[in-house]
Every structure is written in C-alpha cells, then in structure tokens.
Amino acid sequence: MKLGYDEAGHGPVLLMVHGFPIDRRIWAEQISGLSDIRRVVAVDLRGRGKSPTSEAGWTIDTHADDLAETVQSLGVDQVDLAGISMGGYIAFAFWRRYPQMVRTLILVSTRANEDPPEYKTGREMTAERARQYGTAALAGSMLPNLLDESASQEVKDRVVGIFESVPGATSAADSLAMKDRADSTGDLPSITVPALIIEGQGDHLLPEGSGKALAEPIPGAKLVRIPAAGHFAPIENPDAVNSAIRGFLDG
C-alpha cells in the first residue's frame, strides 16, 4: 500500500513515522524546521489521515511493508528513517526487512523489547475500547502519561484533536499489532548505520532508563534527552528535537 504524507524540502529523504494512536501531524514542526536540510516526508500509516484503509488485522510488519512501497514511490533507494514510539517498533521491523533502504535511524521515545505478558491483556482492552467508543476515548487515560507536566493547553488540544481524527477500528488494529510485535532487542547490535536515540526527560510512558537501554547495544548510537518534554517530545519541545536531529544529520 502506498501511504499518504505531508512533505517539504529537497534532497535526501527523511521519512518520519508516527506512533499510536496518532498521525503524521505529530511531526508538523519537524517538517517545517528541517526542510532546509532534507526532503522531509511524514507519512500517515494505513487507516488514517491521508492514507487508504484496509480490513483490520494488520501487523507491525504490514506497516513496514507499506513504508517500503512508499519509499519506492518516492523514487529514492534510501532514507533517513525516524520513528516515534510505535513508529520505532515499525522502524525495527523495517531494518530487519529492508536494511538496504536505511541510511540512518532516528528512534524517538521507543523501546526494543516486546510487550511483557501482563501488558497483552491491556492491549486487548485498549483495542476493545477504541473499537466501541472511538480513539478519543483513549485520551483521558493516556494523556497524563504522554505529555510532560509543562505541556501547554495548545499542545494538549492538538494531541486530543489528532486522537479524535483517528478511526477507532484503526487504533484497535494498531493496539493488537503492538501486542504481537517481535522482540527487537537481539537486532540492536546489528544496526550498522548511524543511529540517534531521542527521549523526553519527562516521559512517564516508558520505563526509566529506556533511552540508555536502547542506545547502549547499538554501535556508536548517540542519545539525546530532551528537557520539558514527555513521550511526544517532537510536539512538546520541537526546537530541541529539531536541533538534535539537525546535529545528527549534519554530522
């Protein structure tokens, strides 16, 4: 499936992959802020925004395959690949399946391990709630863990607005896809391309020390911790995220 996207700029492609249960707009400030050094392409994964939908029942690998088809349609052989959270899970799958297409990896607010067994029931409950009541019904319980306490009302409103626009069936399918995702921990030492890890200092969704745990096994990986930001650092502190990505890509 060829995905829809927003884009700006020219030159090598920086492909940006959003997380759960959101869409490409989490990267709005990266599209505008990095378009002088890259052709920034922020995709909507299947089932939301500018992308077509399909029968529910997809996997993280399905999303990775959609990205590969989209990269081909952009007319390039390689991309700098950035993924936030679930987008990071997809980036690991993409690395396993299409390593030749990856120039560099930027992993934001994510982790390599699979869901522990006690998480899996929660994923099923989340899927059921999204299916019955819509994605917006997830906002109340998720938001306090997603955003730093310093997040402005404007940022909160933008995030809730994105939740509201994602179909419940899409979020249900993504929740189940995350439940069944592969463990990527063993792949980390095989990441031979330059890698940047970004984490918000106030991320309460991931366990403490997740950024370090991800960076250490990846040869030469660089870790940047973003102040005044939680799990959604790109929208909470875009200037700091942009300067981390710019420094990495310039280097």
58: left (phi over 0), alpha (psi -120 to 50) or beta: beta
Binding test (CB under 6 A) with ligand MLT, winner from 5, 14, 16, 20: 20
The residue among 19 and 33 lying less far from ligand MLT, judged by its C-beta, is 19
Least distance to ligand MLT, CB of residue 205, Å? 6
Q: Does 19 bind ligand MLT (CB under 6 A)?
A: yes
Q: Which of residues 65-124 bind ligand MLT (CB under 6 A)?
A: 85-86
Task: For residues 107 and 75, give the distance between their C-alpha atoms in angstroms, rounded to a whole number.
Answer: 24
Least distance to ligand MLT, CB of residue 110, Å? 8
The residue among 98 and 232 lying less far from ligand MLT, judged by its C-beta, is 232
Q: Which helix (DSSP H) or strand (DSSP E) does residue 118 occupy?
A: helix 117-133
The residue among 179 and 225 lying less far from ligand MLT, judged by its C-beta, is 179
7 SS3 class = strand
Binding characters for ligand MLT, 170-209, by CB under 6 A (x = yes): --------x--------------------------x----
Least distance to ligand MLT, CB of residue 196, Å? 18
Cross-strand pairs, 104 = 80
Least distance to ligand MLT, CB of residue 117, Å? 15
The residue among 39 and 184 lying less far from ligand MLT, judged by its C-beta, is 184
The residue among 39 and 188 lying less far from ligand MLT, judged by its C-beta, is 188
Number of residues interacting with ligand MLT: please give it, by CB under 6 A: 7
The residue of the chain with the least Cβ separation from ligand MLT equals 19
Burial class (CB in 10 A: 0-12, 13-18, 19+), 153: exposed
Q: Does 210 bind ligand MLT (CB under 6 A)?
A: no
Least distance to ligand MLT, CB of residue 51, Å? 16
Least distance to ligand MLT, CB of residue 36, Å? 28
9 SS3 class = coil
Task: For residues 64 and 53, give the distance between their C-alpha atoms in angstroms, rounded to a whole number.
Answer: 15
Cα-based torsion angle of the residue sequence 142, 148, 153, 156 in order, rounded to the nearest 10 degrees: -30
Listed in sequence order, the residues at least 6 apart from 208 whose beta carbon sits closer than 8 Å to its beta carbon are none
The residue among 86 and 176 lying less far from ligand MLT, judged by its C-beta, is 86
In 3D, which of 166, 178, 94 has the Cα closest to residue 137? Answer: 166
Listed in sequence order, the residues at least 6 apart from 82 whose beta carbon sits closer than 8 Å to its beta carbon are 14, 15, 16, 17, 27, 30, 91, 105, 106, 107, 108, 245
The residue among 86 and 172 lying less far from ligand MLT, judged by its C-beta, is 86
Pairing of β 13-17 and β 5-8: unpaired
In the complex, the residues that contact ligand MLT under the rule CB under 6 A are 19-20, 85-86, 178, 205, 231
